[in-house]
Structure 1
Amino acid sequence: MNESLFPEKLACMKHPLIKPDTVEQRLYQLNLAGKALEGSSLVVLPTGLGKTIIALFVIASRLQRFGGKVLILSPTKPLVEQHTAFFKKVMTLPEEEVLAFTGSVAPAERERLWAQGKLIVSTPQVIENDLLTKRISLEDVSHITFDEAHRAVGNYAYTFIAEKYFESAKNPHVLGITASPGSSDEKISEVCQALHVENVAVKTERDRDVLPYVQEKEIEWFQVQLPAEMAEIRSYLEKIFDDRLGTIRDLGFSAGSGKYVSKKDLLLLQKQLQGEIRMGGDPKIFTAMSVVAEMMKVNHAVEMVETQGLETLRKYLEKLDAEASSSSATKAAKRLMDDLYMRKALYRVKECDVEHPKLELARKIVSEQLEGSPDSRVIVFTNYRDTAEIVVNALSGIPGVVPIRFVGQGSRYKDKGLTQKQQGEILDKFRAGEYNVLVATSVAEEGLDIPSTDLVLFYEPIPSEIRSIQRKGRTGRQHKGRVIVLVTKNTRDEAYYWSSKNKEKKMLNSMHGLEAVLGPTGSKKGSKLSDFESRAVISDIGGKKIEGEEKERARHENRDLTIDPTDTAVDLDCDRVSKESKEEENEEEKERQKTLIDFETLSGKESAYKTKVPGMESSEIEPGTVPLRIVIDHRETKSGVAKTLDRLGMGLSFAALEIGDYVVSDRLAVERKRTDDFASSLIDGKRNLFAQLSDLARVYEKPVLIIEGGDLFTSRQLNPNAIYGSLISIAIDFRISILYSRDEEETAAILKILAKREQTENKRDVNPHGKKSASTLAEQQEYLISSISNIGPKAARNLLLHFGSVEAFMKADLAELKKVKLIGPKTAARIREILESPYKG
């Protein structure tokens, strides 16, 4: 290696927009920034090696060359605040031009600040909402950085923002940065397609130009033996599982092809059964669905006892027991908790006080780390909140150890989450040393800037390569770090460990393959390498294996590793059910997904990035026509329906609707229900579905219910007759039209057709009812009259202008009413009927 390439102290970057002596010049960062400037790019770089610095170089270059604004998107508020502080510190821009946008900034204030901002750091949901509501435009944005770019899949806000950006910007340019884009070609390709990536650049810790900046990271795995008491409880659960598996086979179905039946196998079987229900509805299919629901719960219970311990298992089983005893319990829940072996397992869990050996090992490892280095910081990762609490309690009694639990915002069963303010305070105290052990769930995986973390302890392995890489990246940033993984012998811990390692290796191979296809092929128009002072050398790849891994891999190579990448069970107290798991379940249905081969011809083909909506030929609006409008409840912005409507060229307005989710005319409003939400509302009195639909039918002449999804009869294992009875009641008793859609895109297509029918063919105005939003007296008078069916805003104004007051309108007879423009004989008769008819309650 040429040592002169890496002097002991490199010079700092010199650029008009970067403050002098604030950013060290590293050749590999310059190399990656140069590649990124040759076109919209995805940069893959291990955590702690300066992905934000690369973004800084690209941003400075784009601002200097094209002006306008730049946008940096990060998935969480803490990351937004972290990035904002960094860019204020190192850039020469006035502080008032470097802004942070999160949900805590009022929409009207964001609109005002957008006009003055030059560099805006934001959560993607905020920008998505502001684009939908037309508060901002991306026309003058000359660059967007997508932090944690692996999130740009499915319905995540990144995909919509990128689409709108390339539609409207004068000089669009994108940089996606991530340490872990995913192991499969399909997922990596989906990220690239969503962000309109032209180039891919990859660096690893083993590359020659990166190696001098990499701190040694020692990775170890410690094994423990499952105690006999826990093995006994596991045997009871396995007997239940095997019995249900036999039932499934007796019904003519199969789960998995190997010795072990994983959660992925159960999910595939569930998907198969759902498809067969749609085709026919044989009673044995419903029985099989109910049995599969039991198996998934038992499967999770086995995971609890193997990988977490009896306290976590006890909480889970008590939750299942409470569920089975409730009035809304499913047959599956009752049958499971009535099983003799389940009662035995529950009894043994309650009387047994043996703790999982991982707990004592965790105490020993953390204690030794802090004894040897009292200024150390330690992060312990657990998959479940209950386990995090148990670990904190176990560590609290050790002298010199000051642990704190760090979880997400969402509240769970008997467990309230942390607000973002509380999360920020905990991290500040952790950095300052008030706490020296952070016991965290998945919320701490991405982006935490804690340079002094010396040890990362995995309480259990995780099969997701993305999350594994993110966790390991919390250490070894500025000095040597350790990663320790705790593994229970002969359990799914071992399968998860090797699954994750195999996927990491596969991801690296896929990324280099994609880099070969999409890497820069020479100087392109728009390249601006001259903005920087030097270029990096070509890298090579080498590496070493963890001692003893080959032997263990050989021992496990025949074990079933077809595990769901984010294997979590149904109805768990898990901190996050990763989006990746649902994406993997639905992979076969993703018709628009591309493979690496498809990317060979993507460059320059805009049509490759267009999203087609079923039933819609084009989203273009014909010249001279008034665009169709829909008023949407503001809570629906979280769904993909609003984004698809925007793509279809619809005029969208957002409001706090008390009745209905979508209003397409003065007489037609739509309530949208996902199949799981619809089924849950039938057994959960708090959801009050029929009260919602009653209001919809009372206020709107043409009420519509859209049921979205393909698992109406399987999402909650309800008796089919209960669902049929509810549908019949909605259609006949409430006189509500019921429409069905497969997904959010099809729902949007239906809404557009409804709007076209009402607004273009029937000339109806859009007029939401059920909420007094008027502020002036005139508006309140108009609203009062327009709330009568068949009277739109124009007709209401005509009536008030003709009669002069609401009271005079109320007293007008049939003949007088018919004299008013837009009021025909039928409408006049309807008005008099409403005003004169006795109220019957």
Structure 2
Amino acid sequence: MMADLGLRSYQEEVVERALQGENIIIWLPTGGGKTRAAVYVAKRHLETTPQAKVVVLVNKVQLVDQHYTKEFKPYLGRDYTLMAVSGESEEKDFFGPVVKKSDVVICTAQILYNALINMEEAKHVELSDITLLIIDECHDTHKDSVYNKVMAFYVERKLKREQPLPQILGLTASPGSGGAKILEKAVDHVLEICANLDSAIVSTKIYVSELKQNVPRPVKTFDIVEKRLEDPFGDHLKCMMEMIHEYMNVPPDVTLRECGTQEYEADVVILEQRGVREGNRLLAQCALHLREYNDALLINDTLRMMDAYRSLEEFYKFITATDGTDFFLVGLFQENQVELQKQARDSRYENPKMGKLESTLLQRFGPSVNSKGILFSKTRKSIHCLNDWVLHNKALQEAGIKPAILTGAGNGGTYMTQNKQADTIRNFRDNTVNLLISTSVAEEGLDIPECNLVVRYGLLTNEIAQQQASGRARARDSQYSVVAEKGGKEVKRELINESLEELTKKAIAKVQEMSVREFRTKETLQSRWRSEAWKEFC
């Protein structure tokens, strides 16, 4: 029967304990087929469990339809009633009856959580109504995440032995180290995730070689550039910021850190809030403008000088002077505008990272080369700038690069609708687009075709995000590139993440080596502590 779903041997291995009714976290790398394995467990559960009810939780709205259409419906739709419910579905308002009438419900975790706390008959659901709860990307079951809020109900009821509870099946590519730097603490983190999900963690032991063969890891390269020796444009911005510092008369109890850093941005945000709170418009407005200058410096460090200049130009386009503070701030920009624009156009001082990014892309793309790539960057603003750069770069256009932007779904001009997301991924699949320029939204979950190039550009993330991004480069002989400045934060973070990835593997191995008694003792202690921590909440 496993052949119906085409499971590989390593997938058969990791579902074995779940088929016996145990609570299990399946740990397989991105592209390893975790969801397909979960579909098989759901199928067997429905076949063998009286009055079976399967609920699949996801942490992104777009994954509801994706899991329904691509995974669960094709294999279960003939024999069972399936329903996909998200915040955009009318069914969310009648979630109680939907669960009662369906065999399988795929929904966002927020939908289920709302149903657990809502006592209206049409909307309420009890955990005892569910016999199998599948939690996708279950490494998010920590702190105040909605997954953890759902599991808080579960743990509380289990400890009180109040009612029947569903079997739990978690899916993850990495539980992470939880910020731990030593093995003992990383083991504690993995145990905490296990306790939060009341589950043991399983991975393939017998079929590791088959897994590696079917989910090959990309070749990793550090494409490093030297720091630019001169930066007249950036220096000019810093001089203007110093003039604003003097004008605003920074309070003596305030220390502003280095301009052009995230730390400085945090400082001026606090300063702006203080100005608003104290009714000090001079302080608030100067801090607001300083944040824009700092943003321009950050853009200048990652993108083109002209992108940084345009961000300031766009900001001042909508500023109307109403008092002396405004006249000073607007006047300062206008007095320096021509010189800033001239400096931004001086190619001698252009950001060397852009040149390195260009050469990295050209190594994989060409007129007669069929490549697919994802370029990850931090902000929506940066990916829009990078998309514009690719479209107007002669060498990249001659190489046949066809870019498209991919951002998270939401409201507002910088977000994408779910339909637009789906269209972009469809275009990527059929080669109308061959380079996705994306925020972190493409790191996990979305059904994106395998790539032979993944580039991380101007990113500082944890080891989970790094592994998920790397997992997108699943084509044979693929490359995972980090384009960064020599000795910069990105390189340091990447190396730390590599160490944390290895630490996580060792921690999982330690947990798996524990005797059943030792594991259950440690897990129960974690659960009891967690239950106390959530008692007020529940």
Superposition TM-score tier, normalisation by shorter sequence: 0.7 to 0.9
Higher normalized helix content (fraction of residues):
2
The match for 1:834 is none
The match for 2:129 is 140
The match for 1:46 is 29
The match for 1:314 is 309
The correspondence for 1:348, drawn from 324, 333, 340, is 340
The match for 2:491 is 497
Compute the displacement of 1:427 (Å). 1.1
Task: Give, in whole Å, the separation in 1 of the partners of 2:211 and 2:324.
Answer: 56
Task: Give, in whole Å, the separation in 2 of the partners of 1:373 and 1:33.
Answer: 46
Change (3 A) 1:437 1:196: closer
The correspondence for 1:113, drawn from 98, 117, 121, is 98
Compute the displacement of 1:101 (Å). 1.4
Change (3 A) 1:233 1:475: same
Task: Give, in whole Å, the separation in 2 of the partners of 1:203 and 1:308.
Answer: 42
Change (3 A) 1:395 1:504: same
The match for 2:506 is 512
CA contact (8 A) 1:33 1:54 kept: no
1:177 is the counterpart of 2:171: yes
**What is the CA RMSD across the aligned residues, in angstroms?**
4.5
- What is the CA deviation profile of residues 767-789 of structure 1, one whole-angstrom value per residue up to 9, with x for unaligned ones? xxxxxxxxxxxxxxxxxxxxxxx
Compute the displacement of 1:437 (Å). 2.0
The match for 1:23 is 6
Aligned partner of residue 457 in structure 1, secondary structure: strand
Aligned partner of residue 430 in structure 1, secondary structure: helix
Number of aligned positions between the proteins: 509
1:426-575 equivalences under 5 Å are 426-476=424-474, 478-489=475-486, 494-510=488-504, 512-513=506-507, 516-517=510-511, 521-522=515-516
1:402 is the counterpart of 2:391: no
- Where relative contact order (Cα < 8 A, 6+ residues apart) is larger, the structure is 2
Compute the displacement of 1:304 (Å). 0.9
Task: Give, in whole Å, the separation in 1 of the partners of 2:86 and 2:528.
Answer: 33
Paired AA for residue 69 in structure 1: K
Change (3 A) 1:444 1:54: same
- What is the CA deviation profile of residues 386-430 of structure 1, one whole-angstrom value per residue up to 9, with x for unaligned ones? 333333334346143322222233455xx4532111111221121
1:650-669 equivalences under 5 Å are none
Change (3 A) 1:336 1:464: farther
Paired AA for residue 515 in structure 2: T
Compute the displacement of 1:359 (Å). 4.2
The match for 2:65 is 81
- What is the CA deviation profile of residues 46-80 of structure 1, one whole-angstrom value per residue up to 9, with x for unaligned ones? 21122223433543454455442121112223322
Paired AA for residue 72 in structure 1: V
Change (3 A) 1:154 1:241: farther
The match for 1:158 is 147
Task: Give, in whole Å, the separation in 2 of the partners of 1:330 and 1:497.
Answer: 44
1:333-412 equivalences under 5 Å are 344=336, 347-349=339-341, 352-353=344-345, 354=347, 356-371=351-366, 374-396=369-391, 398-399=397-398, 400-410=400-410
Task: Give, in whole Å, the separation in 2 of the partners of 1:469 and 1:511.
Answer: 12
Task: Give, in whole Å, the separation in 1 of the partners of 2:59 and 2:44.
Answer: 24
The correspondence for 2:42, drawn from 53, 56, 59, is 59
The match for 1:757 is none
Paired AA for residue 308 in structure 1: L
The correspondence for 1:610, drawn from 524, 531, 534, is 531
Change (3 A) 1:330 1:62: farther
CA contact (8 A) 2:265 2:294 kept: no
Paired AA for residue 252 in structure 2: L
Task: Give, in whole Å, the separation in 2 of the partners of 1:41 and 1:334.
Answer: 63
Task: Give, in whole Å, the separation in 1 of the partners of 2:34 and 2:21.
Answer: 17
Aligned partner of residue 91 in structure 1, secondary structure: helix
Compute the displacement of 1:306 (Å). 0.9
Task: Give, in whole Å, the separation in 2 of the partners of 1:479 and 1:98.
Answer: 36
Task: Give, in whole Å, the separation in 2 of the partners of 1:202 and 1:346.
Answer: 61
Aligned partner of residue 8 in structure 2, secondary structure: coil
Task: Give, in whole Å, the separation in 2 of the partners of 1:224 and 1:330.
Answer: 44
Compute the displacement of 1:502 (Å). 0.2
Change (3 A) 1:418 1:41: same
Aligned partner of residue 235 in structure 2, secondary structure: helix
Change (3 A) 1:334 1:216: farther
Task: Give, in whole Å, the separation in 2 of the partners of 1:424 and 1:313.
Answer: 31
Compute the displacement of 1:307 (Å). 0.8
Task: Give, in whole Å, the separation in 2 of the partners of 1:519 and 1:174.
Answer: 21
- What is the CA deviation profile of residues 354-390 of structure 1, one whole-angstrom value per residue up to 9, with x for unaligned ones? 4644445544544553327643222222223333333
The match for 2:235 is 235
Change (3 A) 1:508 1:447: same
Task: Give, in whole Å, the separation in 1 of the partners of 2:430 and 2:314.
Answer: 38
Task: Give, in whole Å, the separation in 2 of the partners of 1:336 and 1:430.
Answer: 45
Task: Give, in whole Å, the separation in 2 of the partners of 1:426 and 1:131.
Answer: 35
Task: Give, in whole Å, the separation in 2 of the partners of 1:130 and 1:307.
Answer: 44
CA contact (8 A) 2:81 2:102 kept: yes
CA contact (8 A) 2:220 2:480 kept: yes
Compute the displacement of 1:336 (Å). 6.1
1:100 is the counterpart of 2:84: yes
Change (3 A) 1:496 1:336: farther
Task: Give, in whole Å, the separation in 2 of the partners of 1:108 and 1:266.
Answer: 41
The match for 1:694 is none
CA contact (8 A) 2:115 2:124 kept: yes
CA contact (8 A) 2:410 2:416 kept: yes
Task: Give, in whole Å, the separation in 2 of the partners of 1:523 and 1:508.
Answer: 26
Task: Give, in whole Å, the separation in 1 of the partners of 2:267 and 2:238.
Answer: 20
1:609-628 equivalences under 5 Å are 609-610=530-531
Aligned partner of residue 121 in structure 1, secondary structure: strand
Task: Give, in whole Å, the separation in 2 of the partners of 1:437 and 1:86.
Answer: 23
CA contact (8 A) 1:75 1:123 kept: yes
When normalised by structure 1's length, the TM-score is 0.52
The match for 1:623 is none
Change (3 A) 1:240 1:451: same
Paired AA for residue 53 in structure 1: R
CA contact (8 A) 2:15 2:26 kept: yes
Task: Give, in whole Å, the separation in 2 of the partners of 1:292 and 1:364.
Answer: 38
Compute the displacement of 1:25 (Å). 2.5
CA contact (8 A) 2:23 2:168 kept: yes
Aligned partner of residue 452 in structure 1, secondary structure: coil
In the alignment, structure 2 segments of 5+ residues that lack a partner are: none
